[in-house]
A and B are shown apart, each in its own frame.
Chain A
Amino acid sequence: MTQISRNLPLALKGAIDAAVRDLHQRVPAAIGCVIATVDGRLVSHVVDNEADPQRIAAMIGSMVALGETIGREVRIDRSQYVVVNALNGTLLTQRVPSRKELFVVSTLARPTTNLGMLLHETRSTADVIARAVDDWLDQHQARSAEAASA
């Protein structure tokens, strides 16, 4: 467990962990699912092969940032997701679309998995996590405002 995951509010960490497990079960031939902070710190993972989740987290943070930079540079606007299509599997990574840019989500699957399915399921999970993050932010801001007025 990393420092960032120790400090995550328990309710939010629980929602992210549940979303990751659910994604891993929904995707046919899934090898793993990883959530990282946008700067590459591991938050939650289910990985079936020997790949190191900490290292995946570091790289998917860079991948998403690099994809977005390239998207801007070549004038095709904001990158939606980044795909690595390899001989023995596919890695799809995208940002979690919460109001604040905090996390990226990545799904790793065997080549038998359809890319469209992978994209759909990963995007659905990113949306679920985004709602959890936004709800937590709303509650946190409400508590802060309440404390300030007291």
Chain B
Amino acid sequence: MSEIKLLFAGPMGAGKTTAIRAISEIEPISTEVANTDLIESNKAETTVAMDYGELTLDTGDKLRLYGSPGQKRFEFMWPLLAEGALGVVVLLDNSRTDPLADLHDFLAAFDTQIGAGRVVIAVGRLDSHPHPSLDDYVAAVSRRGQFLPVVDADVRQRDDVIGVLEVLFEQLNALDLGDSPGANEGDEWMRFVDQARVQ
């Protein structure tokens, strides 16, 4: 059994807090405050630091689920929250003005994780806003020279969020994760020590 950190990222209103709330087995930690940026979104509240939830898998492994704030002004939080994350779910909202621009912004922000193949893209509100299509997203990712899974998801539905995580884990399993130092392979503590920053 181990603990696995995952990050939900994406623009404001894409459903990061909702997704974590949908699957967390604990009452999630939330840093929502009143939203004063009604041009960006008409949501009443918005996350300003992080969300946190937990989910134990049938295998006994525990997922630690972090959610990032979505607004660009909070981008300093993104690498902090991504540190140590095994994978990233980028949630996109097809009802926003330019969701493909959102896609490019977040792919750029999580370039390190994408380079390691640890990202899945989940698109919401496709029913009410069918354009761009999933194919358009795949093409946009492909034009960046990347290959990432792109799925449709209603993050209010627990099964949909679990489905997104299953895609992410399939993606992770497909990777060659044998790039840890050989002597420390399988020892989570030593991997942590190896990767830690020096004061």
What is A's interface to B at a CB cutoff of 8 Å? 2-4, 7-9, 37-41, 52, 54-55, 58-59, 62, 65-66, 69, 73, 97-102, 137, 144
CB-CB under 8 A from A102, the residues of chain B are 192-193, 196
Knowing A58-B29, A65-B80 are in contact, say whether A101-B188 is a contact too (CB < 8 A).
no
Q: Which 5 A-B pairs have the closest CB atoms?
A: A7-B189, A39-B84, A100-B196, A65-B80, A3-B3
| A101 and B197 within 8 A (CB) | yes
13 sample A-B contacts, Cβ–Cβ < 8 Å, listed by A number: A3-B3, A3-B62, A7-B188, A8-B189, A37-B192, A38-B196, A39-B5, A40-B52, A62-B80, A98-B199, A100-B199, A102-B192, A102-B196
Q: A39-B83, A62-B81, A73-B76 are known contacts; what are 6 more A-B pairs with Cβ within 8 Å?
A: A3-B188, A4-B192, A7-B187, A55-B26, A97-B199, A100-B199
| B77 and A58 within 8 A (CB) | no
Does B198 touch A at the CB level, under 8 Å?
A: yes
CB-CB under 8 A from B188, the residues of chain A are 3-4, 7
How far in angstroms is the closest Cβ of chain A from B17?
A: 15
How far in angstroms is the closest Cβ of chain B from A13?
A: 10
CB-CB under 8 A from A65, the residues of chain B are 80, 83
- If over half of B's interface residues share one DSSP class (helix, strand or loop), that class is named, otherwise mixed; here it is mixed
Inter-chain CA distance A100–B149, complex, in Å, is: 36
Inter-chain CA distance A144–B193, complex, in Å, is: 14
How far in angstroms is the closest Cβ of chain A from B56?
A: 12
Knowing A62-B81, A66-B77 are in contact, say whether A54-B54 is a contact too (CB < 8 A).
yes
**Range of interface residues on B (Cβ < 8 Å):** 20 to 34
CB-CB under 8 A from B198, the residues of chain A are 99-101
CB-CB under 8 A from A58, the residues of chain B are 29, 52, 64, 66
CB-CB under 8 A from A3, the residues of chain B are 1-3, 62, 188
CB-CB under 8 A from A144, the residues of chain B are 183
Inter-chain CA distance A54–B54, complex, in Å, is: 10
Inter-chain CA distance A66–B83, complex, in Å, is: 13
Inter-chain CA distance A9–B189, complex, in Å, is: 8
Does B88 touch A at the CB level, under 8 Å?
A: no
Does B19 touch A at the CB level, under 8 Å?
A: no
Knowing A9-B189, A37-B192, A58-B64 are in contact, say whether A99-B3 is a contact too (CB < 8 A).
no
| B189 and A59 within 8 A (CB) | no
CB-CB under 8 A from A54, the residues of chain B are 54
Does B50 touch A at the CB level, under 8 Å?
A: yes
How far in angstroms is the closest Cβ of chain B from A22?
A: 23
| B49 and A101 within 8 A (CB) | no
Inter-chain CA distance A58–B64, complex, in Å, is: 9
CB-CB under 8 A from B62, the residues of chain A are 3
CB-CB under 8 A from A52, the residues of chain B are 26
How far in angstroms is the closest Cβ of chain A from B83?
A: 5
| A55 and B52 within 8 A (CB) | yes
| B3 and A2 within 8 A (CB) | yes
Inter-chain CA distance A7–B2, complex, in Å, is: 10
Pick the contact of A137: B49, B189, B193 (CB < 8 A).
B193
| A69 and B84 within 8 A (CB) | no
How far in angstroms is the closest Cβ of chain A from B174?
A: 23
Which of chain B's residues 61-94 have a Cβ closer than 8 Å to chain A?
62, 64, 66, 76-77, 80-81, 83-84
